[in-house]
Amino acid sequence: MGVEVGSKLEGKVTGITNFGAFVELPGGMTGLVHISEIADTYVKNINEHLKVGDTVTVKVMNIRDGKIGLSIKKAIDRPDVPPRHQRERGDAFEDKLNRFLKDSEDRLSSLRKHIDKKGRSR
């Protein structure tokens, strides 16, 4: 299998830097897994997640100017979030926003009642 954007490949970690890890892919090509693409959680120290010589599954994210961008976290198959859950979250936000706007308007109208036309309070 060739190195194409979107393909998942097995590779071997050949080097670790403070910004990512270099992975040798089949065919002798090398790509970089940026520190933000190593795990779903915040990665402060790459050495806590990877070691030189580890075999990892990576997904090819991009190929630009002969450089290959890889991701370990996106190579992991996860079930998609059902659209129903996305709508529920969106509806909850809309409900909160509407309540906030109504409460704000109620408070403003209450304040306006207590202030006469010249800007003085009663």
Query: Tell me, which fold does domain 8-75 have in CATH?
Result: OB fold (Dihydrolipoamide Acetyltransferase, E2P) (2.40.50)
pLDDT tens, position by position, 67-78: 999 999 999 877
Rg (CA), the chain: 26
Give the separation between CA 8 and CA 60, rounded to whole angstroms: 6
Q: Are 13 and 28 in contact (CB under 8 A)?
A: no
The pLDDT value given to residue 115: 75
pLDDT tens, position by position, 25-37: 998 999 999 999 9
* Burial class of residue 88, CB neighbours in 10 A (0-12, 13-18, 19+): exposed
Domain ranges of the chain: 8-75, 79-116
